[in-house]
C-alpha cells in the first residue's frame, strides 16, 4: 500500500470507530438519562411510570415514617407549593434531615414516588443546586433562605457567620 492510501485506511478506521462510539453514546443517552423534577413538575406533567426521574425538594417536617420494621421509609418531598409522598426501601444517608434539601431517584407510580436511591449530601451546610433552583422556581426560595440564614447556612454551602459558634 502506498503511504497515502495507508493513511486513508487509518482515517477510515478512526472515523468508523468514532461513528460506532457516537451510535453507542446516542442510544445510551436515550435510555439512561434521568431528568430532574420538582414536585410541582410531577403534579403538572404526566410522567410515565416507566421513566426514571430525580425528584428534589425539601423533606417536609414531621413527614418521615419508618414502616415494615425499619426497612422502608416514607417521607414527603415538598417545594412548598406541591408535595409528593416518597417510599424508599433502604438506609437513608447520614445527612438526611427533616426540613432539609434532598434528591431522590426512582419512578412515579400512582402519585407516589418509589425511590430506589436517596442521594447523600456530603456536607451539613450544602443545598443541592437543583433543589435550590427548583425552590426558586416555585417562588418559595426566600422563605427557605431566611430559614437557612436563621440556622447559619446559605445555599452556597458555607456559612458566613463567625466560626466557632
Partner 1 sequence: MIVEIGHFALILALVVSLVQGTVPLVGAHRNDAAWMALGRPAAIVQFLLIALSFAALTHAYVTSDFSVLNVARNSHSAKPLIYKISGVWANHEGSMMLWVLILAAFGSAVAIFGQNLPPSLRARTLAIQAFITLAFLLFILFTSNPFERILPAPVDGRGLNPLLQDPGLALHPPFLYLGYVGLSIVFSFAIAALIEGRVDAAWARWVRPWTLAAWIFLTAGIGLGSWWAYYELGWGGWWYWDPVENASFMPWLAATALLHSSIVVEKRDTLKGWTVFLAIVAFSLSLLGTFLVRSGVLTSVHAFATDPARGVFILVLLLVAIGGSFALFAWRGPSLSATGLFVPVSREGALLLNNLLLTTASAVVLLGTLYPLFLDAMDGGKVSVGPPFFNAVFIPIMTPLFAALAVGPFLAWKRGDLPGALARLRLAFGLSVAAALATWYVAADGPVMAVLGMGLAAWLVIGAIVETASRINLFKATIGESLRRLRRIPRATWGMTIAHFGLGILIAGVTGSSAWKVESIQTMMPGQTIDVSGYEFRFEGASRAQGPNYTATRGRFVVSQGGERVAVLKPEKRVYPVEGQPTTEAAIKTTFMGDIYAVIGDAEGNQGGYVTRLYFNPLVPWIWAGILIMVVGGLFSLSDRRLRVGAPSRREAPAQKVRAQKVRT
Binding site for partner 1 (CB under 8 A): 3, 6, 9-10, 13-14, 17-18, 21, 24-25, 27-29, 31-36, 54, 66, 69-71, 89-92, 94-95, 105, 120-124, 126, 128-130, 133, 156-158, 162-164
Whichever of 13 and 49 has its CB closer to partner 1, that residue is 13
User: Closest separation between CB of residue 6 and partner 1, Å?
Assistant: 6
* Contacts of range 40-47, beta carbons closer than 8 Å, 24 or more positions apart: 40/79, 40/81, 40/82, 40/134, 40/137, 40/138, 41/134, 42/82, 42/84, 42/108, 42/113, 43/82, 43/84, 47/108
User: Closest separation between CB of residue 60 and partner 1, Å?
Assistant: 19
Whichever of 110 and 163 has its CB closer to partner 1, that residue is 163
User: Closest separation between CB of residue 91 and partner 1, Å?
Assistant: 5
Q: Give me 69's grid cell.
A: 420494621
- Label the pairing between strands 72-78 and 53-59: antiparallel
Amino acid at each position: 500500500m502506498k503511504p497515502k492510501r495507508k493513511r486513508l485506511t487509518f482515517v477510515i478506521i478512526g472515523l468508523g470507530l468514532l461513528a460506532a462510539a457516537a451510535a453507542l453514546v446516542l442510544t445510551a443517552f436515550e435510555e439512561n438519562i434521568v431528568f430532574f423534577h420538582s414536585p410541582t413538575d410531577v403534579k403538572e406533567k404526566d410522567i410515565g411510570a416507566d421513566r426514571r426521574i430525580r425528584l428534589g425538594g425539601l423533606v417536609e417536617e414531621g413527614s418521615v415514617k419508618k414502616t415494615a420494621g425499619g426497612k422502608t421509609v416514607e417521607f414527603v418531598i415538598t417545594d412548598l407549593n406541591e408535595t409528593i409522598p416518597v417510599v424508599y426501601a433502604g438506609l437513608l444517608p447520614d445527612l438526611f434531615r427533616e426540613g432539609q434539601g434532598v434528591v431522590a431517584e426512582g419512578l412515579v407510580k400512582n402519585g407516589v414516588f418509589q425511590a430506589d436511591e436517596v442521594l447523600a449530601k456530603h456536607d451539613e451546610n450544602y443545598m443541592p443546586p437543583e433543589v435550590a433552583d427548583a425552590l426558586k422556581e416555585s417562588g418559595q426560595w426566600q422563605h427557605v433562605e431566611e430559614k437557612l440564614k436563621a440556622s447559619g447556612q446559605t445555599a452556597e454551602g458555607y456559612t458566613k457567620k463567625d466560626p466557632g459558634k
